[in-house]
Amino acid sequence: MGRLIEYLLELVVVLIVGRLLGGTLRHFFGAATLHMPDGSPRTRKERSRPQTVRGEMVRDPVCRMFVATELSHRLEWRGQTLHFCSKECLEAYRKTAAAAG
Ligand SMILES: [Zn+2]
């Protein structure tokens, strides 16, 4: 019986100390830890996005960077499909192409 009470007391002490420590830590690092639940799912979602992109890589004719055809902004221009990294590049090309005739 004595052992059980000792064990229970120990358990209670551990729980209380744990709570106090937890509360203190939360108090000190509250800002940092409280932002984690909000931020982590979002960052996890972004990270879970596949890094390897299947499909073809083509060059953006405006900024010359390579873009995946899967993710590109497309423009049908004189029978061919052009791929752009962004809407801005697409619009820029459309403007210059329209100006050039
Ligand atoms: Zn671009």
C-alpha of residue 86 to centroid of ligand 1, in Å? 5
C-alpha of residue 76 to centroid of ligand 1, in Å? 16
Burial class, 97, CB count within 10 angstroms (exposed 0-12 / middle 13-18 / buried 19+)? middle
C-alpha of residue 71 to centroid of ligand 1, in Å? 12
Q: Distance between terminal CA atoms of the chain?
A: 96
Q: Give the alpha-carbon dihedral of 52, 56, 62, 63, to 10 degrees.
A: 30
Q: What is the pLDDT of residue 53?
A: 56
C-alpha of residue 88 to centroid of ligand 1, in Å? 7
Q: What is the mean pLDDT of each run of 10 residues along the chain (101 residues)?
A: 86 88 74 52 53 79 96 94 97 91 72
Q: What is the pLDDT of residues 17-27, one digit of tens each?
A: 888 888 877 77
Q: What is the pLDDT of residue 18?
A: 86
Q: What is the pLDDT of residue 47?
A: 54
C-alpha of residue 99 to centroid of ligand 1, in Å? 19
